[in-house]
Amino acid sequence: MSEYIAHDADGKTVGLVEKKYFTFAEPPDEMGLHSKAKLGPITVAYETYGKLNANKSNVILVLHALTGDSHAAGYYAEADDKPGWWDNMIGPGKGIDTDKYFVVCSNVLCGCMGTTGPSSINPETGQPYGMRFPFVTIADMVGVQKALMDHLGIKQILSMIGGSMGGMQLLQWTIQYPDMVKSAIPLATTMRHSALAIAFNEVARQAIVADPNWNNGDYYGSIKPNLGLSVARMIGHITYLSDEALRRKFGRRLQDKDDFSFNFEADFQVESYLRHQGAKFVERFDANSFLYITKAADYFDITRNDASGSGIQAFSGAKARFMVVSFTSDWLYPTYQSRDMVKAMKKSGLNVSFCEVEAEWGHDAFLLPSQRLTNLVKGFLESVYNDAK
Amino acid sequence: MTQNKKEDLRFDLQVIASWITPGSRVIGLGCGEGELLHYLKKYKNIRETGIEIVEERVAACIEKGLSVIQGDINEEIIDYPDNTFDYVVLSQTLQQVYEPLDLIKEMMRIGSKVIVSFPNFGHWHIRFQVLFHGIAPMTPQLPYQWYDTPNIRILSIRDFREFANRVGFTIDKEVAIDSDNYYRSGKITRFLPNFRATYGIFLISNTR
């Protein structure tokens, strides 16, 4: 996703921001996870933008996708090359207007950007957890976010917004803590992974574990499984684009050459692009985090304990007002999956809006600057903000 | 498109709005850019839902703060439990529906009162075009050629009355209006409505 991040053309920005940390679940009060394991202490990395109003009624929780982090907007230092990953949406006068709302974004449990995950030190051994890190679920990620809200003294969330795996977290929020969530915007997401989505994740995981440097997850302090992780990222990138997007972006164009090389160097631009994305990714992401987080996303299924099998029962406890958005060329979480979600929400009597945005960029469309998406988010947030007054 | 004053609402929509009780639950099928729902939300405090198939129009509705779902009315209507709404509105869309009877039955299922409006093909202007020019009619209300019209159901006010009678719906209210689509003004036509009115608006319910 980082390839899309750019400085705001109009210079509108939340400015300098700071990554903060909150630690809880200190032993013996560890957090109980859905896998029955216990974990503690847990540190959460988070950032906030805008000002919390007096009655704490202007909170927007932003939930990041698989490889995102807490740095959703602004800059850590003036010399930074790039702002946070959703700077086109979050800022003064933007879709999520920081002049009006107090925005919180935290790194997910199991992440590698400041929140406790497999690369964190296991207090029992003094070594990184590696494969001794317990399995976590989307619901566990939400539990950690709830602890952060408690820490910040926030009891009501005006709206939460997230794409892809961020959307799964917000769906879980609306079911797990229905009284806290006034509204939610699931973007390019699903109630459960399809076999196709699980299949791609599994191939990506196998690429990592097949790398000899993975060493059963014990690679901290030595050579990392960079090859496996970069292949995993390459697979991911294919799923984030689309047939059309790949055709438009690369076609069959060759990279810096006029003819085939007749070897296994990157001949085509698309090969070169994927290799570049893979190589960049290993600099910032931990292979074990990738394994655990993709598994959590695969396990997620809000229809699982639902007798109807369609999510109606799961949503029956929810109270939030929803705006569901899908993108026409998204083949990872196609529109039919958003429609299933909308159907379940309708049947549960929830207040729901749905828009399928025409977009050629595949699943990644939710991250790209889009006036349509910005206006939808802006209008929806204004409406829930006015209703809450 | 946001109208700020009450009188800015199109005349046929003003008539529909006048029939709706404040605070009720209203669904607009084929709600366009949400002019009626927005008005009703603002002035009658209704809880609104809209169904609209065109992305731009759905976006315009959501930007106004309305709850609207992008989709086909014939499919989206099926998901709602019985009696979810107080009013189900089908404004100037009936003439484009492939299975009007099925749709009206579904409307009666999800709501207690059904409001249907449509352009009146019995209007004298249309009759004269067919009679004297021998061509498929074009009017300000029906500005299409035969080859590009979305209007596949040709009906008049009288046709609708007979239809209601035959399939067993009760007509609770009926208004024929003479209005131009592009102006806010209009007037109710009481004398020879099937000949002189451009639109028919009906409030119907199930005969029990």
- Is B22 in CB contact (< 8 Å) with chain A? no
Residue A316 annotated to the active site: no
The range of the structural domain enclosing residue B151 comes to 6-206
- Count Cα atoms within 13 angstroms, Cβ side, for B75: 10
Q: What is the pLDDT of residue B207?
A: 67
- Is B203 in CB contact (< 8 Å) with chain A? no
Residue B80 C-alpha, separation from nearest chain A C-alpha, in angstroms: 6
B201, part of any domain? yes
Judged against a pLDDT cut of 60, whether residue B208 lies above it is answered with: no
Task: Tell me which chain A residue has its CA closest to the CA of residue B38.
Answer: A383
Count of domains observed in chain B: 1
- Is A375 in CB contact (< 8 Å) with chain B? yes
One CATH from 3.40.50.1820, 3.40.50.300, 3.40.109.10, 1.10.260.30 for A2-200+302-388: 3.40.50.1820
Enumerate the domain spans of chain A: 2-200+302-388
Task: Tell me which chain A residue has its CA closest to the CA of residue B45.
Answer: A387
User: What CATH number is associated with residue B168?
Assistant: 3.40.50.150
CA A167/CA B191 separation, integer angstroms? 58
The answer to whether the Cβ–Cβ distance between B70 and A354 falls below 8 Å is: yes
CA A72/CA A64 separation, integer angstroms? 8
From the list B62, B79, B81, the residue facing A343 with the nearest CB is: B79
Residue A164 annotated to the active site: yes
pLDDT tens for each residue of B153-193? 888 899 999 999 998 899 999 998 887 544 566 778 777 77
From the list A347, A355, A372, the residue facing B70 with the nearest CB is: A355
B189, part of any domain? yes
Supply the mean pLDDT for chain B: 88
Judged against a pLDDT cut of 70, whether residue B6 lies above it is answered with: no
Catalytic residue, from A230, A330, A364, A370: name it: A330
- Pair type for strands B25-29 and B85-91: parallel
Instruction: List all residues 6 or more positions away from A159 whose beta carbon is below 8 Å from its beta carbon.
Output: A60, A61, A182, A183, A184, A185, A380, A381, A384
User: Which stretches of chain A score pLDDT less than 70?
Assistant: 1-2
Burial of A109 (0-12, 13-18, 19+ CB in 10 A): buried
Q: What is the pLDDT of residue B5?
A: 66
Residue B69 C-alpha, separation from nearest chain A C-alpha, in angstroms: 4
Residue A363 annotated to the active site: yes
CA A166/CA A98 separation, integer angstroms? 20
Q: Count chain A–chain B contacts defined by CB atoms under 8 A.
A: 58
B122, part of any domain? yes
- Is B53 in CB contact (< 8 Å) with chain A? no
Q: How far apart are the first and last CA of chain A?
A: 36
Strand partners, B202: B116, B174
Q: What is the pLDDT of residue B149?
A: 84
Judged against a pLDDT cut of 60, whether residue B4 lies above it is answered with: no
- Give the CA distances from residue B115 to residues A86, A226, B175, in Å, rounded to whole numbers and listed in that order: 44, 64, 11
Neighbours of B131 (CB within 10 A): 10
Q: Which of B25, B62, B84 to mutate to test the interface with A (most CBs of A within 10 A)?
A: B62
Judged against a pLDDT cut of 50, whether residue B1 lies above it is answered with: no
B1, part of any domain? no
Check residues B110 and B149 and name the one with the higher pLDDT: B110
- Of the candidates A317, A296, A313, A316, which has an alpha carbon nearest to the alpha carbon of residue A305? A313
Instruction: List all residues 6 or more positions away from A144 whose beta carbon is below 8 Å from its beta carbon.
Output: A31, A42, A44, A106, A108, A109, A115
* This prediction's pTM: 0.94
pLDDT tens for each residue of B115-145? 999 988 777 777 777 778 888 778 777 788 8
